[in-house]
Structure 1
Amino acid sequence: MAQTGSKQTPSFLEYVYQLNEGNSLSEAFSQSLTAIDRLEISQLEKIGLNTYEKEKWTVPTIFQHVIDWERIWCYRAIIFARKEGSIPEGHDQEMMGMHSHADHRSIVDLVDELRVVRQSSIMMFESFSDEILETNCEFFEYQMPLNAIGLTITAHQIHHLNIIKERYLPLIR
């Protein structure tokens, strides 16, 4: 992590920027919707509840995780944008995944929910002025511009879709 002021820029932010390939937030959100629309549902359904390794999440759990964390990041963004300033401590993604019940949901429903959540996120971020998007957000031990929260959302999707492509799609026989 890079030290700036009393808080540090999170080390994961470099990965976020890398995955977004230098795109603006608007471009990144647009590309993320296109990626959702291009998902091959039939291929994802063929994977079923199989995992590439014991103790790894199923594809439905991965999609639920992406949805849940987008909502968490949007909550954080609105808190900063509205100058409310109180962010609860971190969340346990493993606990959330374990209790998501995503394996009882269809891929179609999960992808539809992801699309709706993404559209809502886009509308929220589009409502922010440039001044708000440049706001320095400090939480936990981190600091980052609010704009980077939006890029974290799109990078998170890219990261998990890459995992599905590289590790789960080969499971289809």
Structure 2
Amino acid sequence: MNNQILITHPAPDEYPEWFAGEIDLVHYPDLITGLDDMQIQTLSLLQNLSEEQLLFRYAEGKWTIKEMWQHVLDVERILSYRALRFARGDKTVLPGFDHDGYAMVSQANQRSWEGMLDEYKDIRRSTIRLFQSLTPEMAMQVGTAGRSVLTARAVGYLVVGHNIHHLETAKERYLKPLT
């Protein structure tokens, strides 16, 4: 018996306005469909890139695709952890993190692209399983991370919106200039 709930789009009062830019990018009927489809779209676009494409910077001081995608991996891990804590009713204020600092020490450009994409698939599978395990009540639990108060389901939509944002950035700023 499948007890999986449909986690629909969060209301604007479930997250701070500064997350609206990414959450509003999500136009899927439910969270799991969005997580699944974005993985398919992401792998379709990124899996066959050359090393030249992966190491391209569109401007001085900007990340490469490898660095950007390491950032996506790190953020999805952190957001999933936050969603778990929120869903379990944990009211501890979770600390923020310095995504630029993480990128600086990640050594993403030295990593295997195949390994990074495998890691992306594993993290996404784990994220999907987490959200599939939630009850409606768990999905609506509120927590705080840094100065942000949001529901567990809003965190899930932030994962998808963040993926969409960076995939669109890859298309527009990294892959277009090389074609």
TM-score where L is the length of structure 2: 0.85
**2:165 maps to 1:159:** yes
Deviation at 1:135, TM superposition (A): 1.4
Name the structure 2 match of 1:79.
85
Say if 2:110 is the partner of 1:101. no
Structure 2 residue aligned with 1:150: 156
SS for the counterpart of 1:19 is: coil
Percentage identity across paired residues of the two chains: 30
Question: Counterpart of 1:59?
Answer: 65
Residue identity in the other structure for 1:98? M
Task: Show CA shifts across 1:69-117 (max 9, x none).
Answer: 1111111111112223324321011110000010001222111111110
| Paired position in structure 2 for 1:110 | 116
Deviations 1:118-168 (A, max 9, x none): 001100111111110011223333222210101100111110011010000
Alpha-carbon offset, residue 62 of structure 1: 0.7
Q: Would the alpha carbon gap of residues 16 and 50 (structure 1) be closer, same or farther in structure 2, given more than 3 Å must change?
A: closer
User: 1:146 and 1:48 mapped to 2: Cα distance?
Assistant: 33
Shift in Å, 1:35: 1.5
Aligned length: 168
Return closer, same or farther for 1:19/1:105 CA change in 2, 3 Å cut-off.
same
Task: Tell me the distance in 1 between the aligned counterparts of 2:155 and 2:50.
Answer: 28
Specify every segment of 5 or more residues in structure 2 that has no aligned partner in the other structure, as ranges.
Answer: 1-11
Contact in 2 for aligned 1:67/1:114 (Cα 8 Å): yes
Distance 2:170 2:76 in 1: 18
Tell me how far 1:32 sits from its aligned partner.
1.6
Structure 1: stretches of 5+ with no match in the other structure? none
Q: CA RMSD in A?
A: 2.0
